[in-house]
Structure 1
Amino acid sequence: MIPEPRSFLGTLFGKAVEVADPIRSLAAFLPEKPEGRVLVIGAGKASARMAEAVEAVWGPCEGLVITRYGYARPCKGIEIVEAAHPVPDEAGVRQTARMLEMLNGLGERDFVLALISGGASALLAAPAGAITLAEKRAVNEALLASGAPIGQINKVRKHLSRVKGGQLAASCWPAKMLALMISDVPGDDPALIGSGPTVGDTGTAEDASRILKHWKIDAPDSVAQVLAGHTGVLAPGDPKLSRVTNRIFAAPSQSLKAAAELANAQGVQTELLGDAIEGEARDVAAAHAALAIARQRDLVDGSSPLVLLSGGELTVTRIGDGIGGPNAEYVLALALALEGQAGIHAIACDTDGVDGAADVAGAVIDPATLKRAEALGLDAAAFLQRNDAHSFFERLGDQVVPGPTLTNVNDFRAILIQPGEPT
């Protein structure tokens, strides 16, 4: 029996989030609590939930974790504080300074557990050199709006920071460190998660300068001065990283696999397009729309439906002044490319519950999306042109708003294709 499309797609997204919940997945990667002083630090949109999971096993711990506003969790010993994401604020600067102070004077017998997830890049805010927070915010906002891949954005962030690119781990030397991570980056490279505060980097300040130039980012003099000198980013083989172990315990591939297993259990075929897809949201949507129509042609009457699953991190080059994010923009562009094709429904959401800067995970579409929009006087193409996808789906009532999910394994996309000859 063909499942009800909207409910089915929502259930798949829910499963993807559930599997990545640190309460379910972290304990298996946690060692016995070491003897002596144990300090728990962390940052990211999932970091408070990770801290909660740690204390569920180890009991109350000393430490400090920085998470996004609204993402705090109750802990008995670890202090949970909040700051801004995706653009850093003064609270992030203050709390990062406090964290660095806590790490002063650690010895060889001390143990640091670092909890890192997506969002740490903005939440760990310690501008290098004479760069002000306002200047760092301006560069960050310009990069986010440029359409630059997240890997390149993080490379610049590392060299403009006093904590990224292994510098946070170096602050703990000579203590032993275990960094547990949730991956939200294509390819699951630990050096890219949260801009790698516990991982060395082979990139240089010159690389960061070239990225800014390529994406036409007008950087202030303070940024140019930092990048012209020797930044604090550590090489992977630096001795101060020799006592650090970095381990990913939750990743996009696990969530997509769980969603596929759930779909199969409900009699739906699955095809995984990849868990590390990158690119401009509207371009990827056009390619996926063409693929979905082609796959529908291959389905004969009476065959099982097919769902196309994909993850990764898409980008949006801002050309308008609307409210949008890569997931909402993807499904809006998908709807336009499908042109109301019968039998094809889709969902695209960020697993952290935040698409772009909006507290909306994403949206769903169906064959009637464009007709319903037209009946309300909404020009879908115009909304896409001004990067206003969230406003479009809000008017239609098709947003997905789960609230803080307390995890972050990047984008989740599912296209449900029911049998039927395309018109």
Structure 2
Amino acid sequence: MNEHNIRESMDAFVESSERTPGIETLADCCLCGENCSSLLQLRNHLGDHQRQLALFALPPLNSEEHDSDEDVELGASGSSDDNSSVVNEGQDEDFVDLDQPQEVGFFPSIHQQQATQAQQNYPVEGRPTISELAERRRMQNRIAQRNYRRKLKKKFEDFERRAASSSAPVNPADQGDYSRRSPDIPAEELGYAGVGERVHEDDDHLQRSQGRRRIIPDDDDGARALDDDAPYKPPSIERSYPDFTEYDLRSHDNLGTSLRPGYHADPMELNEEQVREEEELLAQKRLELKVLKEKTAREEDEEALLRKRLDLGILKDKQERDEEEERLKREEEHIRKKYERKRPEEEERILEKYERKRLEDKRRRQKEEEELEELRKRAVQAEKERIAKEAAAKKTAAEEYGLKIESEAKEAED
């Protein structure tokens, strides 16, 4: 099809669009005169002609000499080649393979040349196949999982080390004895009076917590054990706290608060009054336990002595009863002296302070209860006054309403 035929086809299209179609001309093609059985078939037939004209209107892809030869061949072939080049809509199109380009089917000569030129410019051997891309993705997934496990293991170890250093108390065996480094300050003022008793328990607890850590090997055994198609999971744990691992928290040189985390307690900053109060409270608890034990033992001894006195009435001989009575008196005196010993001055001071504090707490609770009772009484009185005011207001309103009704009734009668 040359340029003259294209111009004639376009004129025929314009003429057919300007003409009002009738019933007798709906089944005839204005270009080739082909008889169509229905209006839908005629529309598809005209669409094929338009597609053919649009494809030939595209610019050429090859050189001018090759284009001229191709135009001559196409002109010699006639309309039969044009009709054979049209693709049927009911026929499925062939999908282009990744490895080997194929012709599409609109115009075999042009598409065959394009496929040949593309195959020469882009050889198939240099293209990555589907299997190579899948293998590359699988290797990247395994490498990412291995790096994620190593990073996670490092963060776990860092977190457990920081948690162990913060939860465990300061061990004098690790950082040295403060009393030896500063002989002018006694150990009691530094707050180490009860530290020596807890050293072994804290060490055992630290060893047990370290023994329960999860150990992840450095090799790639876990990656080999994973499935090749396992999905990639990016790391979701981010560091949200400063790193203090470069500082030795137990060393004597880094006792300053600028190098310590906020949760690490410094024994040098403890208040002496607080330490003394804690020691007195501990001594008071021990003394209470001791007094309770003495009271229980004394009650048991007195009960045993009473049983012996009851058994004394069984003896019939007066001499034996007198001897037993004398022996029981001596035993009773021994029990009295045993449990009524003179307490040290320190114990008396602690007991006196404890009794004074107990009385102060009792008076304070009584005062608070009295204040609460007074507030409750005031609230009840205020509620009663409010209820009385509301009742008086309702009564006044009712009286006013009654007077108003009476006045209206009198006016109505007048």
TM over 0.5: no
Instruction: Name the structure where helix makes up a greater proportion of residues.
Output: 2
Which is greater in Rg? 2
Instruction: Name the structure where strand makes up a greater proportion of residues.
Output: 1
TM-score by length of structure 2 reads 0.17
TM-score by length of structure 1 reads 0.17
Q: Which has the higher contact order (CA 8 A, sep 6+)?
A: 1
